[in-house]
Structure 1
Amino acid sequence: MSIRGEIKKIALIANTNKAKAVNVMEQVCNYLDDKRKDYILEEASAGLLERRVKSQVYERLVDFADIVIVFGGDGTFLKAARTFAASDVPILGINLGQLGFLTDIEVEMLEDGLDKLLAGKYQIEERMILEGRVIRSKQLVSRLIAINDLVLTKGPFSRIIKLETFIDGEYITTYPGDGLIIACPTGSTAYSLSAGGPIVNPKMKSLIITPICPHTLNSRSIVTTEDEEIVVKVDADHSEVMLTVDGQESFPILSDDIIKINKSNLVAKMIKLEGYNFYKILRNRLHNNRF
């Protein structure tokens, strides 16, 4: 793996709800001090440390950094990837969570991983992003982007919803059930997997449609090409239907709303250190029962 250009300034973001975050972030700050590297912390993350450090508000970190390092699980990584999707700044994750499909450094290999980073022994993978548009009475009422998935769910009611689904204008089927997951390959190991969807190499360019608890015997996941548009029309007799982004943000959906989902023009830039292999991580997660 070739050596890349020197990293001059690093932004650090921690999940402040993780118990390990303070110690791990302190280790990284000490490491960067020893290497005489300039770094800046997100404001809330800086507040975890007892010493004074340079800090900045979350959204402006990429104005001051060449890369972003996040401390947390996949959820912390997803938020950063969405926030900085329009920038050219890549993201590296240090895993403080359970699964860690998106994060690249385990805590026990922290210094080794940072050594590779500063030596330029990494690649930047560009991951596909989804864009969802909510159309209500022929008007665009919301535009959302997702790194993992966009999920239509019925809400707390036990009544099913019906989701009339089209691919590139061709009617496919109407899914009666609890909802529908539209994922990109990066999100194939998230909610889609738990709902019975396929595992897809994240370097692929495709969309994955997976029904949630379908009230039918013949519903299966469908994998489309990256250039096809998925359109879903909602039929529900209650007002608690939600469109959820990466399990973190949501938008209320009404009956007769139309959701259009495409590949976004944006990409998520993820740092993958020397030795990273998707199938290696997959094998470790499967063997360790960490799904």
Structure 2
Amino acid sequence: MKKILVLGDLSKKKIHDTIFGLKPWLDKHVVAEILDVSKGKKIEKRGAEIAVVFGGDGAILSTCRGLGKNQIPIIGVHMGRFGFLAELMEKNVCASLEKIFTGKYQVHKRMLLLSRIVRAGNMINESMGIN
């Protein structure tokens, strides 16, 4: 593995400090581009093979929405209140990522859902979700 995206809500001190504390370790293994998911913007994968998301389910869902139709495998590091979608724990993230970087992982495909609310012929909301 050569390049990854590292994402999280960088306005949260714990997530910011964890990601930037890991950056020197990550730089020894891969090219890691850090992105902030708190802005709700479109995320371009920029040649990355996976996205590592620090936070809870909300951060993972924001990443899915941000990637849109250009999905790549996403692995979550549980640091939020809800961690149903996160696979990794913060305390052993380096050991887990080393395995991933050497190809020791499986991809489980999920369905990406798009919903639209239409009233009187006008779309008033559009949202993505994962199943």
Within the candidate set 27, 31, 34, 2:25 is matched to: 31
Larger helix fraction of residues = 2
The superposition leaves residues 85-123 of structure 1 with CA deviations (integer Å, 9 ceiling, x where unpaired) of 301422111111122111111111111211121121111
Matched, 1:99 2:92: no
Residue 63, structure 1, aligned to residue 26, structure 2: no
Q: 1:41 and 2:34 equivalent?
A: yes
- Corresponding residue of 1:90: 73
| Greater share of residues in strand | 1
The runs of 4+ residues in structure 1 deviating greater than 3 Å are: none
TM-aligned CA deviation for residue 38 of structure 1: 1.2
1:144 aligns with 126
Q: Secondary structure at the match of 2:23?
A: helix
Correspondence list, 1:117-266, <5 A: 117-137=100-120, 139-142=121-124, 144-148=126-130, 186=131
State the SS of the aligned residue for 2:111: strand
Give how far 1:60 is off.
4.4
Q: Could you state the TM-score of these two structures normalised by the residue count of structure 1? A: 0.40
Distance in 1 separating the partners of 2:9 and 2:48: 19
1:155-200 Cα shifts (integer Å, max 9, x gaps): xxxxxxxxxxxxxxxxxxxxxxxxxxxxxxx4xxxxxxxxxxxxxx
Q: Does 1:10 align with 2:4?
A: yes
Q: Is the 8 A contact 2:43 2:67 kept in 1?
A: no
Give the Cα separation in 2 of the matches to 1:98 and 1:63.
29
1:78 aligns to 2:61 (yes or no): yes
8 Å CA contact retained: 1:131, 1:145: yes
Q: Which runs of 5+ in 2 are unaligned?
A: none
Q: Which amino acid aligns with 2:90?
A: V
- Report the Cα distance in structure 1 between the residues aligned to 2:54 and 2:44, rounded to whole angstroms: 15
Give me the whole-angstrom Cα distance separating, in 2, the residues matched to 1:109 and 1:18. 20
Aligned residues: 128
Alignment partner, residue 267 of structure 1: none
Structure 1: gaps of 5 or more residues: 1-6, 46-57, 149-185, 187-291
Higher deviation after alignment, 88-97 or 72-81: 88-97
| Aligned CA distance change for structure 1 residues 77 and 88 (closer, same or farther; 3 Å) | closer
The alignment yields a C-alpha RMSD, in angstroms, of 2.2
**What per-residue deviation string (whole Å, max 9, x for no partner) do you get for residues 123-153 of structure 1?**
112212333232322x1414523325xxxxx
How many Å apart are 1:76 and its aligned residue?
0.7
Task: Report the Cα distance in structure 1 between the residues aligned to 2:60 and 2:95, rounded to whole angstroms.
Answer: 20
Letter in 2 for 1:32: L
Alignment map for 1:259-278 (pairs within 5 Å): none
Shift of 1:25: 0.7
| Alpha-carbon offset, residue 26 of structure 1 | 2.5
Aligned to 1:115: 98
**Matches of 1:22 and 1:82 in 2, distance apart?**
21
Structure 1 residues 33 and 63: CA distance shift in structure 2, 3 A? closer
Larger Rg: 1
For the residues of structure 1 that align with 2:95 and 2:27, how far apart are their CA atoms? 16
